[in-house]
């Protein structure tokens, strides 16, 4: 498959508008502005595009909810918080192909009747901020942004909002709170952002990669797009591959490709010909899979059946030298740190899980601790305000399910025997 | 107090949003740039510039880990230790910074040259371990490479 999302990124000047124009950039915008907004949404619907931010929600369904709401103005927010550990797939778009995202946002804004867009960018990407700001400036100069885009009377304004180091701000309602200048704590739903979002107006939040697929859908048409990859969730997908593989990096591959192929065909297999132990398939928040569980199709529909989730498509590969208790402990340190503190099960539960894992890791665990971990995880699951707590609980449950013996050995031997 | 250029900068940010409170995070960044960290004075300036109460400013700022509530050294090292970096040795690098430079997580060297913050993922997992120094990115880190890099930050 030819790259679309990562098209031209080997070109060192790919972020420049002229280079983007040379490879056909903004021609999908010109085409789209000649269409009716509702026909664009229809094309996106036909394409079957699902959100790439982690939940896999059908994009056109969200868009139809937003356009059905009579209130104006509507806001289009691009989620560039990319905080899920293991994930670095939006970064090449932001840093090397920013005009693809801008083009996607202008087309989407036009389709949605939105005249104001914001890119909520994580604070940890200072380079991306400068690159995006320059790209936005260039797009204004060439009239791809502004009050009268390409002389068609279409208006769309875009700017970057910089986050400040809070994972939870990737959750869409926390993101909205944050862009309003508040603490990033999730809101209760309903009302959903499509009706009452930023500044109480209908708001569409989509991931960087989701919006960057829109020009492609307009280029080849919804029907052709729907034939790429999995039937239930089609299209190209960016996978971030890290850990013990020969060739870590971001790969653009058809949705539904097998996890085994990502690791062995594309990322070069396990580093130094060691043995595979486990894979975290979709970012830290997704349950771990054992080495013999990687013959699964990487898409939003198949992964839950395989015992995990696609999440952000961040594949973390662990070889035989890795201690799973340590991984679980480090993951829970993350969740404890990033819990926003709003709801009790998540705030207290992640704290307890981390404490228990810490003492097991330090050789101070007792026999009942494994039961206690499952018990606390069970008490978090399904009882939290947002999915952060569920993620933490699922990580612990998955680890115990597949690597219980390692936890037991840690407790029995009072130390790690793996690494 | 903020000077006139800074106030103008904040005004330009304000108009991009329907509500002035949205300018809070960007203004806190500006205050941090001007004062080096968010001292009480820095936050008072932000409160005044945006006509917000000081408690709102302080409460919001305290939520975000990139806002600093104590002075930091001339150069801020933000080193990732999340899983992809951890399994490739990030924690050894934290120890190395402690042993070689006397630099502890959330601490500053005695000469005020370096501060260290241990980070969650910074989106460089494919080239782990990774860190930011101020706003510069470095990856594929080893002890030797950190030593060489730090030569540039005096
Ligand atoms: C704890 C948490 C963190 C999240 N972080 C991100 C993120 O960094 N980037 C992202 O696009 N979506 C993230 N999401 C998903 C968003 O809430 C939302 O579903 C998404 O931005 C919608 O866009 P999409 O439909 O295009 O995927 C996160 C969700 C949760 C619960
Ligand atoms: S885990 Fe360290 S950069 Fe992602």
**What whole-number distance in Å separates Cα of residue A395 and Cα of residue A389?**
10
The domain segmentation of chain B, as residue ranges, is 4-63, 75-150
Domain A236-319 = CATH 3.10.20.600:
yes
The answer to whether the beta carbons of residues A306 and A256 sit under 8 Å apart is no
For A348-399, write each residue's pLDDT tens digit: 999 999 999 999 999 999 999 999 999 999 999 999 999 999 999 999 999 9
| Helices and strands, counts by H and E, chain B | 7, 4
Contact state of A242 with B84 under an 8 Å Cβ cutoff: yes
pLDDT at A419 over 80: no
| A17-226: CATH topology | Rossmann fold (3.40.50)
Sign of the CA dihedral with B118 first, then B120, B126, and B132 last? negative
Structure letter (DSSP) for residue A263: I
Q: What is the mean pLDDT of residues A228-234?
A: 95
Strands laid side by side in the A154-162 sheet = A146-149, A154-162, A116-121, A75-80, A203-207
Q: Is the pLDDT of residue A27 over 70?
A: yes
What is the distance in A from the centroid of ligand 2 to the CA of A338? 15
pLDDT of residue A418: 81
- Decide: residue B55, CB within 10 A, 0-12 exposed, 13-18 middle, 19+ buried: exposed
Contacts with B, A 228-287, CB within 8 Å: 240-244, 248-250, 280, 284
**A42 half-sphere exposure, CB direction, 13 A CA radius:** 6
Q: Do domains B4-63 and B75-150 have the same CATH topology?
A: no
Q: What is the pLDDT of residue B54?
A: 97
pLDDT of the residue at B1: 83
Q: Is the CB of A84 under 6 A from ligand 1?
A: yes
Question: Selecting from 3.40.630.30, 3.30.420.40, 1.10.10.10, 3.40.30.10, what CATH number does the domain B75-150 have?
Answer: 3.40.30.10
Q: How far is CA A1 from its chain centroid? A: 22
Looking at residues A197-207, what average pLDDT do you find? Answer: 98
Please choose, from the candidates A60, A358, A343, the residue with its C-alpha nearest in 3D space to the C-alpha of residue A225: A60
Return the residue in B121, B133, B137, B138 with the most chain A beta carbons within 10 A, the one to mutate for interface testing: B121
Task: Return mean pLDDT, chain A.
Answer: 97
Ligand 1 atom closest to Cα of residue A55: 19
Determine, for residues A243 and B87 on separate chains, whether the beta-carbon distance falls below 8 Å.
yes
Does the beta carbon of A178 sit less than 6 angstroms from any atom of ligand 1? Answer: no
Select from A73, A157, A160, A165 the residue whose CB has the most chain B CBs within 10 Å, as the one to mutate to test that interface: A165
Cα A77 from Cα A175, distance rounded (Å): 9
Give me the count of residues in chain A: 419
Contacts of A199 in chain B (CB under 8 A): 17-19
Taking the C-alpha atoms of residue A183 and residue B60, their distance in angstroms, rounded to an integer, is 5
Residue A30 has pLDDT above 90, yes or no: yes
Residue A2 has a pLDDT of 84
**Confidence band for A1, pLDDT divided at 50, 70 and 90:** low
Give the whole-angstrom CA distance, residue A344 versus residue A106.
40
CA of A176 to the centre of ligand 2 (A): 25
d(CA A257, CA A310): 11
Q: Which of residues 156-215 of A touch B (CB under 8 A)?
A: 159, 161-167, 178-184, 199
Instruction: List the domain boundaries for chain A.
Output: 17-226, 236-319, 324-413
- pLDDT at residue A345 in the model: 97
Residue of A253, A207, A252 whose CA lies nearest to A229: A253
DSSP string, A113-177: T--EEEEEE-TT-HHHHHHHHHHHHHHHHTTSSEEEETTTTEEEEEEEEE--S-GGGGSHHHHHH
- d(C-alpha A38, C-alpha A111), whole Å: 6
Reported as a pLDDT band with limits 50, 70 and 90, residue B39 is very high
Contacts of A326 in chain B (CB under 8 A): 86
- Strands across the sheet containing A314-319: A249-254, A236-243, A314-319, A276-280, A289-290
Contact B19 A84 (CB under 8 A): no
Indicate whether B37 pLDDT > 90.
Answer: yes
Each residue of B77-121: pLDDT tens digit?
999 999 999 999 999 999 999 999 999 999 999 999 999 999 999
CA distance A84 to B53: 33
Q: What is the 8-class DSSP label of residue A179? A: H
Rounded to whole angstroms, how far apart are CA atoms A308 and A289? 7
Any atom of ligand 1 within 6 Å of the Cβ of A57: yes
Share above pLDDT 90 across residues of chain B, in percent, rounded to a whole number = 99
Q: Which atom of ligand 2 is nearest to the CA of B82?
A: 1
pLDDT band at A294 (very low <50, low <70, confident <90, very high): very high
Cβ separation A85–B121 shorter than 8 A:
yes
Q: What is the mean pLDDT of residues B62-72?
A: 97
- Of A61, A133, A148, A60, nearest in space to A102 by CA: A133
| Interface check A316 vs B, CB under 8 A | yes
For residues B77 and B138, is the Cβ–Cβ distance under 8 A? no
* Cα–Cα dist B59/B25, whole Å: 12
ipTM of this model?
Answer: 0.97
Report, at the CATH architecture level, how domain B4-63 is classified.
Orthogonal Bundle (1.10)
CA A227 vs. chain centroid, Å, equals 23
In eight-state DSSP terms, residue A273 is G
* Phi and psi angles of residue A266, each rounded to the nearest 5 degrees, phi first: -100, -45
* CA pair distance A48, A58, nearest whole angstrom: 7
Count CB-CB contacts under 10 A for residue B42: 24
What distance, in Å, lies between the first and last C-alpha atoms of chain A? 40
Phi, psi of A397, rounded to the nearest 5 degrees: -60, -45
Whether CATH 1.10.3720.10 fits A324-413: no
CA-nearest residue to A168 within chain B is: B64
What's the token pair of residue B64? 């975000």
Name, in order, each residue with C-beta under 8 angstroms of A9's C-beta and a sequence gap of 6 or more. A3, A92, A96, A97
């Amino acid at each position: 498959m030819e790259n679309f999302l990562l098209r031209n990124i080997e070109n060192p000047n790919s972020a420049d508008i002229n280079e983007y124009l040379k490879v056909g950039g903004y021609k999908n915008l010109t085409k789209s502005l000649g269409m009716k907004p509702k026909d664009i949404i229809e094309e996106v619907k036909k394409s079957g595009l699902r959100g790439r931010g982690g939940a896999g929600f059908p994009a056109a369904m969200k868009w139809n909810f937003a356009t059905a709401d009579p209130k104006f103005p509507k806001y289009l927010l691009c989620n560039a918080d990319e905080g899920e550990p293991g994930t670095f797939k939006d970064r090449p778009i932001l840093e090397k192909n920013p005009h693809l995202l801008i083009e996607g946002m202008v087309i989407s804004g036009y389709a949605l009747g939105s005249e104001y867009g914001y890119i909520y960018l994580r604070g940890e990407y200072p380079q991306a901020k400068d690159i995006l700001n320059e790209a936005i400036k260039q797009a204004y100069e060439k009239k791809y942004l502004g009050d009268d885009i390409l002389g068609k009377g279409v208006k769309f304004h875009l700017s970057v909002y910089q986050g400040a180091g809070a994972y939870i701000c990737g959750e869409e309602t926390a993101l909205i709170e944050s862009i309003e200048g508040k603490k990033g704590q999730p809101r209760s739903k309903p009302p959903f952002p499509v009706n009452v979002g930023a500044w109480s107006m209908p708001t569409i939040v989509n991931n960087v990669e989701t919006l960057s697929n829109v020009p492609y859908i307009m280029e080849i048409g919804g029907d052709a797009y729907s034939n790429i990859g999995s039937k239930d969730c089609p299209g190209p997908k960016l996978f971030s591959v890290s850990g013990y593989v020969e060739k870590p990096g971001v790969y653009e591959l058809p949705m539904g490709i097998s996890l085994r192929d990502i690791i062995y065909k594309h990322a070069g297999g396990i580093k130094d010909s060691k043995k595979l132990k486990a894979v975290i398939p979709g970012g830290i928040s997704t349950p771990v899979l054992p080495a013999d569980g990687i013959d699964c199709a990487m898409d939003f529909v198949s992964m839950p059946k395989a015992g995990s989730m696609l999440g952000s498509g961040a594949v973390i590969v662990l070889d035989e030298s890795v201690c799973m208790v340590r991984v679980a402990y480090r993951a829970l340190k993350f969740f404890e740190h990033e819990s926003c503190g709003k709801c009790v099960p998540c705030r207290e539960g992640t704290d307890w899980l981390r404490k228990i894992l810490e003492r097991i890791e330090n050789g101070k665990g007792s026999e009942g601790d494994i039961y206690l971990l499952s018990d606390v995880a069970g008490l978090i699951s399904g009882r939290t305000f947002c999915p952060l707590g569920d993620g933490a609980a699922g990580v612990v449950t998955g680890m115990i399910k597949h690597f219980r013996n390692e936890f037991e050995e840690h407790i029995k031997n009072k130390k790690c025997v793996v690494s | 107090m903020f000077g006139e250029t800074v106030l103008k900068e904040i005004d330009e940010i304000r108009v991009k949003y329907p509500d002035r409170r949205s300018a809070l995070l960007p203004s806190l960044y500006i205050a941090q740039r001007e004062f080096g960290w968010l001292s009480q004075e820095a936050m008072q300036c932000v409160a005044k510039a945006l006509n917000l109460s000081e408690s709102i400013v302080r409460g919001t700022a305290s939520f975000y880990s990139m806002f600093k509530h104590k002075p930091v050294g001339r150069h801020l090292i933000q080193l990732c230790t999340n899983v992809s970096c951890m399994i490739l040795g990030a924690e050894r690098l934290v120890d190395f910074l402690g042993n070689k430079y006397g630099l502890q997580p959330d601490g500053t060297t005695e000469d005020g040259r370096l501060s260290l913050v241990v980070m969650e993922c910074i989106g460089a997992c494919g080239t782990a371990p990774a860190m930011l120094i101020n706003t510069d990115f470095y990856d594929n880190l080893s002890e030797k490479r950190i030593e060489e890099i730090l030569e540039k930050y005096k």
